[in-house]
Amino acid sequence: MTTPILEMKNITKTFPGVRALSDVSFRVAQGEIHCLVGENGAGKSTLMKVLSGVYPHGDYSGEIFLQGQAQKFNGIADSERAGIGIIYQELALVPDMTVYDNILLGHELKSGLTVNLNETIKKATEMLKKVRLDLNPSVKVRDLGVGKQQLVEIAKALSRDVRILILDEPTAALNEDDCDNLLNILRGLKRDGVTCIMISHKLKEVIRIADTVTVLRDGQTVCTLDAARGEVSEGVLIKHMVGREIDDVYPRRTLKISDEIVLQVRDWTVYSHGLGRSLLTNVNFHVHKGEIVGFAGLMGSGRTELARSIFGNPDGFRLDGEIVVKGQKKSFSEPRNAIESGIAYASEDRKKNGLILIQDVKQNITLANLRALATRSVVDANGESKVAEEYRTALTIKTPSITQKVLNLSGGNQQKVSIAKWLFVKPDVLILDEPTRGIDVGAKYEIYTLMNKLVDQGMSIIMISSELPEVLGMSDRIYVVSTGRITGELPATEATQEKIMQLATS
């Protein structure tokens, strides 16, 4: 047996109150694509941060070997020198800088004392070619979609001669086309001899791409599976991840949709001054009480803008059209008005728009509805803790305590906090924008079950999702959005992946 390119032995890492990794061992063979899967909070990101020196030597116990040689990284710079490149779960690009500056950030090409602009652009273009991104490197990162930003991240990592490329949930925010593209690029890198470690919750793509899969559960290695020997299948992965079998990913429910329309939007047009064009034109839709309405479409089709413009329009778009909530015409000048009218919106980018990372779990959960906990403006601290505990239990948020800062939670658990926050508002219409992005199968199932329970109690849910199976599995009715227009409305019984894709690209 050849020496593995990477071997991590008996890694243990603790945070105050949490043992994130206990005695984990992890081997990666030269040139393979190795997937790392596990539930939210299983320790995947932490393991990769140990590997890349984010947690320096001495901060954890255990050993790391690269091609048989023991390594002691004291920081990211050390691991980079050793040929390890990491792309974090949260993108790390500077939005207001150009693509070429971002690619060479921290490794600028100098001539004398100044940055050599021409060389920089040349090198950046080369790297972009490697990730098959046809793009003028002088555009600002801000102006790119998430999919392209993800590729720029990879180009950035590649510019540093990586031998091992780590990708932490690279496809979480990508649509299917971008996903396929990314997987193809990984295959290309593999041909060039780069070893890839990829963390993902999308088991289908894991199955498509992985040579080997390692499953983590509660900070321990459960098993390592070899795809060539046919050991990898969705059922097997789920069983190892969750510790039990889940037969039906989308739980069933008895329909209790009433005729009452809680939300109706008519002739909705949204114009952006910044972009100088309309993002949505003449959108009409309605939502019944007790219904789950899915909004399908490609990334950038305008679904998020639709939700945000209805939810008090925090972006200051110019709006036209009308919103009718429970028979009453409304106009919201800020999100607060929308919340008061019973509409809640759990945003897709929880770090940027959803949560206050430096505050604790409790404060985040209660933020949007402090009034319910206050007498004469004074917040009842004990009542607050009680509420937070209730939601922590209900949504099985994995945290040592409700006073833990949200920053320290794993990605999936942050998402649960974000949902808990909006449940506490007790809205009539809950808009969930990509509610299961970055969430493991077990937790997805819990969130779906919760959604069913909520509509059963008479809440209505609008679910925006780029994962077609999810839209199909959960919705009662589906609207398809394509470039700012609703191009189709399908009852769940008639909808298929093909029909939706056709409408989404029309």
Partner 1 sequence: MILKDFRAVIRSNIREYGMYIALLVIMGIFTITTDGVFISSRNIANLLNQTGYIAVLAIGITLVIVIRHIDLSVGFLSGFLGALTAIAMTAWGFPVWAAILMALVMGTLAGLITGFLVAHVGIPAFVASLAGWLIYRGALLLVTLKTGTIIVPNDAFNAIGNGYIPDIFPAESSFLPELHKLTLLIGFAAIVWFVLQSIRDRKDRQSYGFEVLSRDMFTLKLVFISIVLGLISWVVAGYNGMSWTLAIVIVVVVVYHFITTRTILGRHIYAVGGNPEAAELSGISVKKITLWVFGSMGLMCGLSGILFTSRLQSATTTAGTLFELDAIAAAYIGGVSSAGGVGKVTGSLIGAIVYMSLTSGMNLMGTDISLQYIIRGAVLVAAVVFDVTTRKAKS
Of positions 20, 28, 459, 504, contacts ligand ATP by CB under 6 A: 20
Tokens of 198: 């990829």
| Residue 40 near ligand ATP by CB under 6 A | yes
Q: How far is the CB of 270 from partner 1 (least distance, A)?
A: 17
Using CA atoms of 19, 20, 22, 27 in order, give the dihedral in degrees to the nearest 10: -170
Which does residue 282 touch among ligand ATP, partner 1, Mg ion, none (CB within 5 to 8 A, set by kind)? none
Q: How far apart are CA 322 and CA 304, in angstroms?
A: 18
Interstrand relation of 33-38 and 212-217 (parallel, antiparallel or unpaired) = parallel
Alpha-carbon dihedral 223, 224, 226, 229, rounded to 10 degrees? -30
Question: 361, exposed or middle or buried, with CB in 10 Å at 0-12, 13-18, 19+?
Answer: buried
Report the candidate in 166, 421, 418, 463 with the shortest Cα–Cα distance to residue 306: 463
411 binds Mg ion (CB under 5 A): yes
By the rule CB under 6 A, 43 interacts with ligand ATP: yes
- Is the C-alpha dihedral spanning 38, 385, 453, 468 positive or negative? negative
Minimum CB separation from ligand ATP for residue 487, in Å? 34
CA dihedral 324, 326, 331, 333 (to 10 degrees): -140
Residues 179 and 205 sit within 8 Å (Cβ to Cβ) = yes
The smaller minimum CB distance to partner 1, of residues 101 and 433, is found at: 433
170 binds, among Mg ion, partner 1, ligand ATP, none (CB under 5 to 8 A by kind): none
CB 319, min distance to partner 1, A: 17
Minimal distance, residue 45 CB to Mg ion, in Å: 3
Could you say which of partner 1, ligand ATP, Mg ion, none residue 412 binds, taking C-beta under 5 to 8 angstroms by partner kind? Answer: ligand ATP
Give whichever of 102 and 414 is closer to ligand ATP, judged by the CB atom: 414
| Alpha carbon distance 30, 230 (integer Å) | 20
Q: Which residues are at the interface with partner 1 (CB under 8 A)? A: 16, 311-312, 314, 334-336, 338-340, 345, 347, 352-359, 363, 367-368, 370-371, 374, 377-379, 381-382, 385-386, 405, 407-408, 421
Q: Which is nearer to partner 1, 256 or 352 (CB)?
A: 352
Residues between 87 and 106 that touch Mg ion (CB under 5 A): 89
CA 332 to chain centre: 29
CB of 214 to ligand ATP, least distance (A): 12
Strands (E), 289-420: 292-297, 318-325, 328-330, 343-346, 374-375, 378-379
d(C-alpha 100, C-alpha 79), whole Å: 23
- In the list 11, 33, 45, 430, the residue contacting Mg ion (rule: CB under 5 A) is 45
Instruction: Please select the residue that binds ligand ATP; options are 308, 398, 421, 437, rule is CB under 6 A.
Output: 398
- Pick one of 4, 38, 53, 354: the residue that binds ligand ATP (CB under 6 A): 38
Q: Are the CB atoms for 385 and 402 separated by under 8 Å?
A: yes
**Which range, of 13-21, 27-35, 354-362, 469-477, touches ligand ATP by CB under 6 A?**
13-21
Q: Output the CA torsion sign for 80, 349, 297, 135.
A: negative
According to the binding rule CB under 6 A, does residue 436 interact with ligand ATP?
Answer: no
Q: Classify burial at 254, counting beta carbons within 10 Å of its beta carbon; exposed 0-12, middle 13-18, buried 19 or more.
A: exposed
Tell me whether residue 278 or residue 353 sits nearer to partner 1 (CB atom).
353
* Residue 147 binding ligand ATP, by CB under 6 A: no
The residue among 54 and 492 lying less far from ligand ATP, judged by its C-beta, is: 54
Minimal distance, residue 165 CB to Mg ion, in Å: 17
Positions touching Mg ion (CB under 5 A) are 45, 89, 411
